[in-house]
Amino acid sequence: MDAGIADLNHAAEQLWLAAQPDWPTLSVEVLPEVGSTNAHALALGRDGARDPVVVTAWRQTAGRGRAGRQWDAQPGQALTLSLALPLALADVPGGGSALSLAVGLWTAQALDALRADASAPRLQLKWPNDLWIDDRKLAGILIEAIQGPALAPEQRWVVIGLGLNLADTPEALRSERTDAATGLGLPLTPGQAMAAVVPAWLAGLRCFEHEGFAPLRAAYDARDTLRGRPVALWRHMQGGAAGSAPPDAQGIAQGVDAQGALLVDDGLGALQPWSIGEVSVRPRSGA
């Protein structure tokens, strides 16, 4: 663990120094162990935090994804990371609901840039919050927001969480999950992964606040793994996962709109928008 913590501490120091010109109040917390980096960051907001903070941990014991799903990660084999900051999401052009799509895109671009053949994008995006390689999950994003007591009325304390598989995916999970070492040929430490991802997030957030998702739409479309594929959709999670009940809709995914909603061809000549927070999407069997 000592070497792992040292790696994260070194990355945190370099990240903090590089961010000072544009983010002078940013802090970086490196924890030996935490239940959930997102939960820790949310607690900071409830306690009155108002300055942006990055939280990472060597060991995460109660990681979670969307709809309360458990997210397991072994120390050193994954990056567990959260960035928390005040954002006026309602003032974002087009709305802030596409933030998870934007974060996924920035993460994919940052990781692909580390590859020797960066000209050939490898990472794909699965709406609304997953990074995939060849239909296997590499990473998941979880965004949560609360009304922090120290913030202006229009602001929310927004926490952006990332779980990124780095190495040693268990054999039993390899049909559905992959890691950076296997899928990208990138043997990254958690510190190296953090050093690549967080600066991309910080740079992207500055633009997202003022321009929204629309300028990112074409780049997202180029990595959209669902586009043109049959999908099944559920409006509500069933026991934490979709698929245990008949889907509410089925159709062909046709990309996303300028607000980040998934567009689904219902076969009746109309594109139906499905918004983040209302639906779980999975390619149908045979897709």
Tokens of 69: 């799903």
171: its two tokens: 């054999």
Provide φ and ψ at 238, rounded to 5°: -105, 100
Q: Determine the Cα–Cα distance for residues 170 and 168; give it in Å rounded to an integer.
A: 6
CA distance 47 to 85: 13
φ and ψ of 198, to 5 deg: -65, -45
Span between the terminal Cα atoms of the chain, in Å: 42
Catalytic residue among 66, 126, 136, 227: 66
* CA gap 64, 45 in Å, rounded: 19
Closest CA to 263 of 244, 249, 284: 249
Active site residue 66: yes
Active-site position among 126, 136, 137, 156: 137
Q: Is 156 a catalytic residue?
A: no
Q: Which residues are catalytic?
A: 66, 137, 282
